[in-house]
Structure 1
Amino acid sequence: MSKIDRLVTAIDPVPHAPEQGQDARELFHEIVATQVKARRRVRWPVLIPVAAVLAAAAVTGVAFMPTDAPSGITPAAALAFQRSGDDWIVTVKNLYASPERFASEFRARGFDIRLSIAPGSPSTVGHVTGGEVTEGTTRIEEESVECESPGGRCAVSFRIPAEFQGSAQIWLARPARPGERYESAGDVDATGELLHCVPFRGMTVDEVRGVLAERDGSIEEFRVGKRSERAQQVPGNWFVKDAVPTAPGRVLVWAQPDRVKFTPELTTYVEKKMAGCPKG
């Protein structure tokens, strides 16, 4: 196993990756492709929640410096470094700091680590959504995760060897600001998402639209046909096959005129998603 493989194995918690329809994954990336700066050499799959960590600002007592703070006032550090044996525990205190700010603070400690944080849907907030590493690395391990709630305020922590000599790029998800679109999205029925605990697959468009309205959400657009062609509207009695979050309060829906066929695999998947949800 190469050094790269060992690093990725250490930080990438594949067993906890969210399940999502293939169409939804592919189309989500198509939707955001024109709005998200291309990332090079991404080695981790997107939408992978990690037990990589974030201490909520309310828990750590972190005070964020306003972007319009008067000149001459030094903003609080975006990262906190705490020595723990042969390692450093690095906590991201400000999810909204710039990549340059993170790089500068890592560099001041002798680390070549780049951290980028972009808006993600509630179930991805506080989680790693992608990354890359180079030769010469040993390990980067998650330390803990604490968020106020799904999609709530978080901060991220990593355990890095004090002798870390390689380089790494890590992307994380943060809550979206008003007007921002998601650059990473979890399952639309995951905890914290608009259709959590809703068996929406097989429901009519009007039924799903009604549920979303009750949760201050709406359908942004549709995808129809074998080629998933775009459509602004479809008949309300069409059936919903899949959906994906695209922005706060908005979802993209795959709809069709025929009833959704529930294969044994899809039935098992839906039952798993609904486990623990209220009955009726």
Structure 2
Amino acid sequence: MSDIDRLVAAIDPVPHASEQGQDARELFDEIVATPVRARRRVRWPVVVPVATVLAVAIVMGAVFIPADAPSGIAPAAALAFQRSGDDWIVTVKDLYADPERFASEFRARGLDIRLWITPGSPSTVGHVTSRTLSEGDGIEEESVACESPGGGCAVSFRIPAGFRGSEQIWFARPARPGERYDSAGDADATGELLHCVPFRGMTVDEVRAVLAGRDGSIAEFRVGERSDPAQHVPGDWFVQDAVPTAPGQVIVSAQPDRVKLSPELTTYVEKKMAECPRD
């Protein structure tokens, strides 16, 4: 079961539950979580502007040379290291490199750092989605401009040259065709399929029509108290929530009864809609 499957299963579809709105918001906070590891991990919100958490500089056209290339020709580096005083500035050059390539290049400089770059929905691209936290590790993100959401953002880190701890960092990149998201933002966040659509409380048919107009579709549904998967539901059912799951696709939680939004979620939706263009 993937992270997205596990997380959407946590949606509580019981209508009129007093905590329903809070659960819906907690879902979005949890969506970028990954399976629990032995070390403590800090989950970073995916709605913070990229410039506040990451450095970016799209690096296009990185050359990849296969491992069986003629001797004397080394594969292009996945990371660029630049010395700055007592620190290394490390910039990702290849968003699609294997994690072991990153680890190997860090090890070559005496650094025990693991970096995972996984597919994320447009609003999460270029954002740190999770990391372990070592006390006083001194690792910081470098910030420059980034065309977001959905842009090809490459992250830069400032790492003390004398760093002797260990660190694990995850961040999101654009998904390639056929990939499912490992991290996802709000379905109505900037860049997502349902941006500027007050979809909670709309019927399934209404949401399906909106998605079709944006070259999107409903991948599947979650229904009932246990959020059981379902391929089809009646078109007059009501949408409780939605989660981006792959490019052009969302998973929808639906129920036969009208959806009653909590005051907190109502305020959230109103704030989001206030940022949208007026017709």
TM band (smaller chain)? 0.7 to 0.9
User: Which runs of 5 or more structure 1 residues have no equivalent in the other structure?
Assistant: 1-18
Show the counterpart of 2:127: 127
What is the deviation of 1:225? 2.0
8 Å contact from structure 1 (residues 126, 154) kept in 2: yes
Inter-CA distance 162–275: structure 2 relative to 1 (3 Å threshold):
farther
Inter-CA distance 69–146: structure 2 relative to 1 (3 Å threshold):
farther
8 Å contact from structure 1 (residues 56, 146) kept in 2: no
Show the counterpart of 1:98: 98
Q: Report the Cα distance in structure 1 between the residues aligned to 2:91 and 2:176, rounded to whole angstroms.
A: 22
8 Å contact from structure 1 (residues 243, 254) kept in 2: yes
8 Å contact from structure 1 (residues 78, 97) kept in 2: yes
Deviations 1:49-97 (A, max 9, x none): 561222112xxxx531246698134332111112222222111111111
Instruction: Give the number of aligned pairs.
Output: 251
CA RMSD of the aligned region, Å?
Answer: 2.6
8 Å contact from structure 1 (residues 203, 240) kept in 2: yes
AA of the residue aligned to 1:214: G
Q: Report the Cα distance in structure 2 between the residues aligned to 1:56 and 1:42, rounded to whole angstroms.
A: 30
Deviations 1:233-278 (A, max 9, x none): 1111111111000111110001111221133212101012223201
Q: Report the Cα distance in structure 2 between the residues aligned to 1:70 and 1:258, rounded to whole angstroms.
A: 60
TM-score, length-normalised on structure 1?
A: 0.81
Show the counterpart of 1:86: 86
Q: Report the Cα distance in structure 1 between the residues aligned to 2:40 and 2:176, rounded to whole angstroms.
A: 25
Higher relative contact order (CA 8 A, sep 6+): 2
Map 1:98-177 to 2 at 5 A.
98-134=98-134, 137-177=136-176
8 Å contact from structure 2 (residues 123, 148) kept in 1: no
Map 1:1-280 to 2 at 5 A.
21-23=25-27, 39-45=37-43, 48=46, 51-57=53-59, 62-66=60-64, 71-72=69-70, 73-134=73-134, 137-280=136-279
Query: Among the aligned pairs, what percent are the same residue?
Result: 70
8 Å contact from structure 1 (residues 82, 88) kept in 2: yes
Inter-CA distance 230–25: structure 2 relative to 1 (3 Å threshold):
farther
8 Å contact from structure 1 (residues 88, 159) kept in 2: yes
The residue matched to 1:21 in structure 2 has which SS? helix
The residue matched to 2:95 in structure 1 has which SS? coil
The residue matched to 2:211 in structure 1 has which SS? helix
Which is further off, 159-168 or 147-156? 147-156
What is the deviation of 1:24? 5.8
Q: Report the Cα distance in structure 1 between the residues aligned to 2:278 and 2:261, rounded to whole angstroms.
A: 20
